[in-house]
Amino acid sequence: MLIQRLNSEIDLSVWSIPAPPKAKIFAWRMMSRGLPTVDNLASRSIVLSENDALCVFCKSDIETDYHLFCTCPVVDKVWKVCLSWINCPAPLPRCILDHFNFIPGPFHQSTQAVYWRTVWLVTTWIVWRTRNLCRFKDSSFCFDSMVKEIQVHSWRWLSSFTKSFRYSFSQWCCNPGLCLTR
């Protein structure tokens, strides 16, 4: 009963994020452990070579959803940049559900929490898209490009799906933290 209530609260939270439907579906699949990561494919008897089983970012651990979004040292640096926007050097939780539910200290109002959840979803979305490009299109990973893409998509989603977000792109680029905390 408690697990059902928690799942329905998470479902409501995911579906209420100001984002495109495909991104919300992605988040729901991630929370449900339904993304086709190497470990999930192996549980369905789809086994990859040892080289293909490694995380495309750090190339040192087996790719799992937990590793990809919560413990990969390369992706952790991306999260640290997003947290630096709001001057919040807090360590992030190491579990996907806790990671999703984590609201940084500077966010005291519900609107600010919604803004952060959008940045969180954009970040996980871009990490997943970059992972797919590296894995399937033989693309190379560029940290700065990923951070810039997160910044651009965050502004697009917030300005398109949130009426209370009234910042220009130049204001956002100059100080995303100020736009998130005001």
The answer to whether the CB of 8 falls within 8 A of the CB of 36 is no
Residue owning tokens 């992605």: 26
pLDDT truncated to tens, each residue of the chain (182 aa)?
434 444 556 667 889 999 999 999 999 999 888 999 998 888 888 877 777 889 999 999 999 999 999 999 999 999 999 999 888 877 888 888 888 888 887 777 888 889 999 999 999 999 999 999 999 998 988 999 999 999 999 999 999 999 999 999 999 999 998 998 87
Residues in the chain: 182
Q: How far apart are CA 135 and CA 138, in angstroms?
A: 6
Q: Which two tokens stand for residue 65?
A: 């959803």
pLDDT at position 1, please? 45
How many Å is the Cα radius of gyration of the chain? 16
- The phi, psi pair for 58, rounded to 5°, reads -95, -20
Measured distance CA(82)–CA(150) in Å, rounded: 9
Under 8 Å between Cβ of 10 and 100: yes
CA-angle at 134, arms to 101 and 44, nearest 5°? 70
The tokens of 25 are what?
């579906």
Are the C-beta atoms of residues 158 and 115 closer than 8 Å to each other? yes
- The pTM of this model reads 0.91
